Chains A and B, each alone.
Chain A
Amino acid sequence: MRKLLVIALMTILAFSAFAQGASEKKAEEGPITLEWWTWDTGMIEQNQSIIAQYEATHPNVKINNTVIATDGGAYKTQLSVLAQQKALPNVFMLSSGDIEEWASNGLCRKLDDLVASDPDIYKKFYESMFTSLKDVAKTDYLPGFPFAYVSCDLFYNKDAFDAAGLEYPNENWTWDDFLAAAKALTIDKNGDGEIDQWGYYGYGRYAEAQAWIFANGGVLTNNTTHTFEPNQNALDAIQFMSDLVNVYKVAPSPKDMSAIKYKTIFPNQIVAMFVDGGWFADDFRKNIGDKFQWGITRVPVGPNGQAKVTYGWPDSYVISPFTEHAQAAWEFTKYIAGEGIGLDQFMAGKMPAYKALVESDAFVDMTQQPYGDMQLFRDHASDTFVTSYTQGWSEWVGYGAAESMGLNGAIDSILNGETTLAEVLPSLTESINKILSRYY
């Protein structure tokens, strides 16, 4: 037994020496080394090939890619610790929900001078996304480099529309058109008293509820007083979602759909219409195949909404404010947001910021669904983008692991018929204001 102990200890010691040796990397003279942090662990191999190409044309630059999953907050925790140590990687992905807080703590390099040094930048990239990022961060400077934009749109089952003899939804649809179609699409196919196909399904998730809110000219927070002050348009939108379930009965309640993942409800043809992030185009391509025909269009504009106002958010790279190699980091960032990548780096339905990709023929892929409807994502580029981000956003909205709480939880309760908007609004406002007051 003692022998075993000795062997075990020696293994550990030997291994620790090896591991330490591996982790000690001296910053050497000569070529610049850029640290590049991303969170999509599915992309490790692709990133390596991008680096190989970049290093081939830029012999003075070495790129070191670190990919950390977002699970358990691992990516953000490690990045935050580096921020506190003032040792941030040169280029890193940062979620839109965090950019304002990071920018206000001086953790995002202002990129305006670098943008100014490149007169072609807005010829190559969509300026609207850069404007949106400043809007998200509430800064008067550019805190990062948006490499993609995600919009929220309406997905519809063409076969169901055909069967009901309805015209497909279009950009000029109003909520009344939507409701009329939803009514016609809510069908008990086998006559057993249970609805087999609903007109629509949605719940309190940010990408669904807020798509309706902003489509009606809704505002959730007052960004001068930094308080939660939903305007009547926003309340109307929430009420509309509730009425779809509780009054018109053209949508099932969230609790009735809880046996299955919300992402699988549309592919299973339980609903004919569905609103969520555009990237579902990618999901549906894989999971619907040729089972039925489907299309994408804009979320119908509410009675008080404006056309071509789109709810969504940019996905961005941030450059470290502590780096001495800002210029090199900038060049590399432009590469990984632009010429260095192809459409295969994006899920279908996300809009790359690099115009050449969006305008390429391959972007509107006529060989697979939703065929020509992909044009929608080209059109979005000239829209007005709106977002709801503030500091503390994930807490008050109820994002991710907090999905059952905050605004999301409250809307679900309303849709479930457990409470009403009027009933829940005072306590919701109070609790959200308490969260916001910690930040502002």
Chain B
Amino acid sequence: MVERRVSKVIVIFFIILAVAVSIFPFIWMLANSFMSEDQIFALPLKFWPDKLFKKGMWDNYVEAFSNFSFGRYTWNSFFVSFLAALGQIIVCPMAAFAFAKMRFHGRRAIYTLLLMTLMIPVQVIIIPEYYLMMKLGWLNSYLPLIIPSFLAGAFGTFMFISVFEAIPSVLLDAAVIDGASAYKILWRVYFPQATASVATLFIIAFMNNWNDLLRPLLYVIKPSLFTVTMGLTRFQNQYTTKWGLVLTGSVISVLPLIIVYIFCQRYIIENQMSSGVKG
């Protein structure tokens, strides 16, 4: 009992350490969003925001939302990222189930190709991709941001293959004996088993699309369609950067991600409980 308590204390100590080490840039960013421009890079370093709880505290936020329509950009980013992530959690398990549990001609070849696409940095294919989108007539729309992410989710497919492989075949055999169709086995048996991974993939896909800058810059031209990351570029030109607003914008752009993370987190936990009950 004592040993248990000691180990719990150690665990808590390390968790708090990890949290402290992880969270300070965000705290710094947050603090800086309440500082005047000259304080951000002041020497010696200023930790305490000079405008906190004083007049003008929300100046940066007011400017970001009123003069730079950050509300609009946040909504746009949410729309794009949500659809792209939604697509991935539907399409990826389908493909992964086929790859992990079925045999068909060309399985290995297609799988290898898919994996290959995973290792390509965006800078490598962006120019040919831009021409492709131009030929498709998709420039100046969200389609290039959503459809490829929707359809070509190599990461998610790869992730679900490893998840489905880890699920005991007993489940499959039992379902087959019950006479369930392949689709039913996927959606009713395997998919529910992988809730934690579905939530994880949703977080990752959402985050990747949310933080993408290069593609939105190339494909979205209309200011009313700008995403949050594009909004951040509005605080700088080639000669100068408004750091206060950049950091404020960064805080604004991170908040929805935290909400999505915490929301998805529930499912990661729930899965644990439900499998516990079943066991």
Contact = CB atoms under 8 A, between A and B. Distances in A.
Interface of A: 1-2, 4-5, 8, 11-12, 15-16, 19-20, 22-24, 39-42, 44-45, 66-72, 74, 77-78, 81, 95, 150, 260-261, 263-264, 267-268, 270, 277, 279, 282-283, 286-289, 291, 347, 350
Given A11-B83, A42-B237, A77-B130, A71 B217 contact: yes
10 contacts: A1-B90, A15-B142, A19-B141, A20-B138, A23-B139, A23-B141, A24-B137, A42-B237, A69-B234, A74-B218
A271 to B, nearest CB: 12
B191 A1 contact: yes
B237 A40 contact: yes
4 tightest A-B contacts by CB?
A19-B141, A74-B217, A264-B41, A69-B233
A66 B130 CA distance: 18
Given A8-B83, A19-B142, A286 B37 contact: yes
A4 B230 CA distance: 30
Given A11-B83, A72-B213, A41 B234 contact: yes
Contacts of A350: 239
Contacts, number: 109
Contacts of A44: 223, 234
B113 interface: no
Contacts of A69: 217, 230, 233-234
B127 A267 contact: no
B47 interface: no
Given A11-B83, A279-B240, A283-B240, A77 B38 contact: no
A291 B90 contact: no
B237 A39 contact: yes
A8 B86 contact: yes
Contacts of B236: 42
Contacts of A15: 83, 142-143, 146
Contacts of B233: 41, 69, 71
A279 B83 CA distance: 43
Given A1-B191, A279-B240, A71 B38 contact: no
Given A66-B221, A77-B130, A268-B42, 15 more contacts: A12-B146, A16-B141, A19-B141, A20-B137, A39-B238, A70-B238, A72-B217, A260-B41, A260-B43, A267-B41, A279-B240, A282-B240, A287-B37, A288-B38, A289-B38
A350 B235 CA distance: 18
A20 B141 contact: yes
A289 B213 CA distance: 34
A41 B249 CA distance: 15
Given A40-B237, A71-B213, A289-B38, A19 B143 contact: yes
B187 interface: yes
Contacts of A347: 239-240
B140 interface: yes
A71 to B, nearest CB: 5
A317 to B, nearest CB: 15
A266 to B, nearest CB: 11
Contacts of A12: 83, 87, 146-147, 150
Interface of B: 37-38, 41-43, 67, 83, 86-87, 90, 127, 130-131, 134, 137-143, 146-147, 150, 187, 191, 213-214, 217-218, 221-223, 230, 233-240
A56 B138 CA distance: 33
B67 to A, nearest CB: 8
Contacts of A41: 230, 233-234, 237
A42 B235 contact: yes
A4 B90 contact: yes
A24 B239 CA distance: 35
A81 B138 CA distance: 15
Contacts of A261: 41
A85 to B, nearest CB: 8
A364 B115 CA distance: 62
A437 to B, nearest CB: 25
Contacts of B237: 39-42, 70
Given A1-B191, A8-B90, A277 B239 contact: yes
A42 B245 CA distance: 12
Nearest to A23: B140
B131 A81 contact: yes
B10 to A, nearest CB: 35
Contacts of B141: 16, 19-20, 22-23
Contact of A68 (B67, B146, B221): B221
Contacts of A40: 237
A315 B150 CA distance: 41
A267 B217 contact: no
Contacts of A5: 90
B228 to A, nearest CB: 13
A288 B137 CA distance: 49
B49 to A, nearest CB: 16
* Chain A CB within 10 Å, residue with most, of B41, B134, B139, B214: B41
Contact of A23 (B137, B191, B223, B234): B137
B131 A67 contact: no
B127 A77 contact: yes
Nearest to A2: B187
Nearest to A74: B217
Nearest to B220: A68
B66 to A, nearest CB: 11
Contacts of B37: 286-287
A288 B38 CA distance: 7
Contacts of B223: 44, 67
